[in-house]
Copies of this chain bind each other. A is one copy, B any other.
């Protein structure tokens, strides 16, 4: 049988990795897929890159990606350009041309997934996006197929490698956020503009996708609460450690009686949890199903070859199922289109978590009594407490508390009152904590 012809959009990090994996593992992949899979046409702004990657002379090259999506020979279009535009236009055009699409583009899926999936359904083609969440970890397949028996209860994931690298370095080496960020940029882990990574937007894209996969609801990027790690201080990393916790940047989605939680923020987790020990640039996703209980998936969340691993797995799936009726294929989000349901997204004020609080207070009798009175009025109880004497040259103490679970709205009320006390000299630091049980 003829080789399946793939059109690659982009020969950058992931595109180059994909070309490399398809070449290097061609024999092993054919043993699995039952057909050869070949890059037939590639769009790149750097035509010399194709040579460098070892793509043969028989691979057609262009600088115009639309040529690839409009080419009659190409059967699968692999979009690895990233960003919203022209990725969206290219993908839609490919679908309109009846081609199957594989993409690693989380921003595209999180924001334009609904449009893309609807068009693909209409044209009866597949859209694979395993590489869009947690790089090489086959987490989309695990949730969509491997855990199909379960009502998923919640998912919590370390889904941004750059953020995890920074928090790990801050903890292991006692360094400050800004310093580690700079190093991450030098190492190529973080972009020149690190906003997407450190402010949680990248993680929010991925969490949006995980939430829809878990519960069978539309993609809700706009409703995802997003808080980055740029305000996490060395002090908090240390105190969290003293209390037996690690700070991780988590994406969390949870089904509750009142609605679905969708939130990305720094989170204290007990240090004995496996996911608390996922360090450096590695990713991990914890999925709690009602039948299976907790399961965890760990691996490289970025990088050329790991991401290509997911891209090529999607290509193999497309090759396996390209000849069958669309209705028998796994639905793109794991649920039949007709079964996708709008679900209310819980506003952050109604989300219940524990809190780590750090307050700077004048060292004077009665301060603690005032704070605890305010907390108890909001029915917030304290699980652990540390008081740190002033460091040299300072006159204020640091009061650190870990509270039991409370609705965020109540915590907001309590903190407003605490911050209004004249003994409290700066804004209270608060980081949510989760037991992940």
Contacts and interface: CB of A to CB of B under 8 A. Distances in A.
Sorted nearest first, the 3 A-B pairs with minimum C-beta distance are A138-B146, A149-B312, A295-B299
Interface string A297-335: 111100101101111110111001101110111110011
Contact of A292 (B30, B141, B289, B309): B309
Interface of A: 17, 21, 24-25, 28-34, 130, 136-138, 141-142, 145-151, 216, 274, 277-278, 284, 289-300, 303, 305-306, 308-313, 315-317, 320-321, 323-325, 327-331, 334-336, 339
B292 A148 contact: no
A297 B300 contact: no
B313 A320 contact: no
A334 B31 CA distance: 9
Contact of A290 (B25, B33, B150, B295): B25
Contacts of A321: 328
Contact of A295 (B130, B298, B323, B329): B298
30 contacts: A17-B291, A21-B149, A25-B149, A25-B151, A31-B216, A31-B335, A31-B339, A34-B336, A136-B289, A136-B292, A136-B293, A136-B295, A137-B292, A137-B295, A138-B147, A138-B295, A141-B145, A145-B317, A147-B309, A149-B313, A289-B309, A292-B305, A293-B300, A293-B305, A294-B299, A294-B300, A295-B300, A296-B298, A324-B324, A324-B328
Q: Which of A147, A303, A310 has the most CB of B within 10 A?
A: A147
B325 A150 contact: no
Contacts of A309: 147, 149-150, 289, 291-292
Contacts of A306: 291-293
A246 B277 CA distance: 16
A317 B329 CA distance: 10
Contacts of A313: 145-149
Instruction: Tell me how many chains of this kind the complex includes.
Output: 2
A263 B30 CA distance: 28
A320 B324 contact: no
Contact of A146 (B142, B148, B303): B142
A153 to B, nearest CB: 11
A309 B289 CA distance: 9
Given A21-B149, A324-B325, 8 more contacts: A31-B335, A33-B148, A138-B146, A138-B147, A147-B309, A148-B312, A148-B316, A291-B308
A321 B298 CA distance: 29
